[in-house]
Amino acid sequence: MSTRKVKQSGRGNERPENQLAGEASPYLRQHADNPVHWQVWGERAFEQSRAENKPIFLSIGYSTCHWCHVMAHESFENQDVAEFLNEHFVSIKVDREERPDVDQVYMAACHLLSGSGGWPLSFFLLPDLRPFYGGTYFPPQAYGNRPGFLQLLQSIHQAWQDQQPQLKESAGEVLAQLKQQEVYSSGPIDDHWVDRGARQIADSIDTQYGGFGHAPKFPRPVVPDFLLRHGKRLADSRIQAMAQDNLRAMAWGGIHDQVGGGFHRYSVDEAWQVPHFEKMLYDQAQLASSYLLAFEQTSDPFFARIARSTLDSVMRDLRDVSGTFYCGEDADSPDLEVAGQQREGAFYLWRHDELSAHLLPDDLNLLELIYGIASHGNVTQDPHQEFSHWNILYRQADWRQNIVQLRCAEEVVEERLDDILSVLQKIRSERPRPHRDEKILVSWNGLMISALARAARVLGDESFLKAATQAADFFVCRFQEQGRLQHWWRPDGKECPAGLADYTFLVQGLLDLYQAENNQQWLDLALQLSRVQEALFADGRGGLNDFQSLPDILLGGRSDYDGAEPAPGSVAVMNYLRLGQITGDPKWTCRGEEVLGSFAEALNRYPAALPHLLTALEYRQQPW
């Protein structure tokens, strides 16, 4: 890490320059050349803020985040912005994947102040780390209801000069409200939560395009998982169909990488056609598991094929030589037409003339019929005008009717499409790939171990079992060496304490491995990890904290929403109930019910917020 000092314009005071070059985090290293004097989250930066009585500007993101790149290019590489930040603020960069405990505090503040969240997360803090203002992406100039970033910095600085007592009072109110959100009282378990949650989810169904809610649409695998199990228990095919339709719509859409397999982060439109092209490990793992569950219930080979291709894509593109798995791949990649520039989706987009040059006319015609490939491009939902004249592969709404024109059986057409997509895969393999974040997080690897173990059991594929075992062995060896998990075993050896998700997601994976091959060692390890988990995260009130107590974290953290990832507490409940069922030891069942009861207020308020907990309730009523 550099310790050189540089003089700044204005007052001539010495300031530490950008401190990120020596960091292990790929995201932090991406910002090492910014003229902003970024520091890492830690006492050194906090002390400077206190000593100089300057507010902290906190920027949180991750290395595969498209809008993080945009704001970096527009603002953090801008010399005027950097000089203003360096003069009037202490600027700190945090990788949200490295420090999810920091991210959770300020994301909660963002939701409290603005009603929404996302990355990049941009927040202003007092020297004692209490937040007083923030948001997500800020453009370089005012746009809509968002101020320009330099304009915002100037306003914050002026307020700090003239209204510091009011800012401190506001920060106190924000923290008080955040702490109040963590207050809970346990209550009795109500089996009616399951039915209420199912009705609430059904009320948000999109009967036209599949899925739930409106654009932008995010995969939320806990929802189809719950509906599939709930519908099966009730023998209600309508409930199961909601989930199956959701899974089919995503698999046919542009959010699914039709050429290489796997799923992008979300769809910007309601029809799942135009994705945000980033790929994350946690999406692949959970969605593969969802398609496997749908296959188990329906025996429809379509679901098995999507699950297999998703897992194959992870094995091909995100696997480390150790057998563990990387975090994800960027939405951006080198522009195929403009040297030296990055473009969102460049690796995945197609020009009509490129396809015409590589495919036979009949094959191109088939792509036009099924995927709507057009000479002028097929992207109609393009809010930022990024994809003009480009094609994204997604199945047209009338693709089955178009097959009728060919007078071929659907199976024959699918075989032809597989051959064509193989050609496109070869062409695409010669393009420069998106950036890959090669951190290896325990939590997301736990999800992947689950998916592979389930695939081995459902599909009867020993290669998936071997992969799951190899990944599990990596983390088990390190756990046994240290007696605890790290969130990320950093290459520089620095401590990175594990959160509850690291324990619960890995325990889930080990239980799935145990059920896939009936090997007692996986059950024994799941029990060991669960005991350590209790020692580290039990809050003394019946529930669990999401993170260990650390001096630089304002809140203990407790998620009550199953989103893109399930809440760690939801997974803990399911794990405890499974341990009780497998071992016959009632203490685990009782502990699961105790943690479940700690979510009573949230479940009484809106049970659809916690579909994985509802799945645990289903398991409690009728183990599978």
pLDDT at 589: 98
> What is the spatial distance between Cα 519 and Cα 512, in angstroms, rounded to a whole number?
11
pLDDT at 1: 28
> What is the spatial distance between Cα 536 and Cα 485, in angstroms, rounded to a whole number?
11
Q: What is the mean pLDDT of residues 347-354?
A: 96
Residue 7 pLDDT > 50: no
> What is the spatial distance between Cα 598 and Cα 564, in angstroms, rounded to a whole number?
22
pLDDT at 16: 54
Residue 6: phi, psi to the nearest 5? Answer: -135, 150
Task: Quickly state the pLDDT bin for 381 (edges 50, 70, 90).
Answer: confident
> What is the spatial distance between Cα 214 and Cα 608, in angstroms, rounded to a whole number?
16
Query: Would strands 275-276 and 266-267 be described as parallel, antiparallel, or unpaired?
Result: antiparallel
Which carries the bigger pLDDT value, residue 10 or residue 477? Answer: 477
Residue 409 pLDDT > 50: yes
The pLDDT tens digits of the residues spanning 549-570 come to 899 999 878 999 999 999 999 9
Q: Are 231 and 620 in contact (CB under 8 A)?
A: no
pLDDT at 248: 97
The pLDDT tens digits of the residues spanning 495-505 come to 899 999 999 99
**Residue 382 corresponds to which tokens in the numbers above?**
């393009």
pLDDT at 423: 97
User: Which residues neighbour 571 within 8 Å (Cβ) at sequence distance 6 or greater?
Assistant: 501, 504, 505, 507, 508, 612
Residue 386: phi, psi to the nearest 5? Answer: -100, -15
pLDDT at 491: 85
Task: Quickly state the pLDDT bin for 3 (edges 50, 70, 90).
Answer: very low
Residue 417 pLDDT > 60: yes
The pLDDT tens digits of the residues spanning 156-192 come to 999 999 999 999 999 999 999 999 998 999 999 999 9
pLDDT at 11: 37
- The b-or-e profile of 240-273 (16+ CB within 10 A means b, else e) is bebbbbbbbbbbbbbbbbbbbbbbbbbbbbbbbb
Task: Quickly state the pLDDT bin for 10 (edges 50, 70, 90).
Answer: very low
Q: Are 119 and 67 in contact (CB under 8 A)?
A: yes
Q: Domains of the chain, with CATH numbers?
A: 5-181 (3.40.30.10), 342-436 (no CATH)
CA dist 432 → 70, 112, 209, 427, 536 (Å):
20, 41, 33, 11, 44
Residue 2 pLDDT > 70: no
Name the percent of the chain lying above pLDDT 70. Answer: 97
pLDDT at 380: 86
Mean pLDDT of the chain: 94
The pLDDT tens digits of the residues spanning 235-272 come to 999 999 999 999 999 999 999 999 999 999 999 999 99
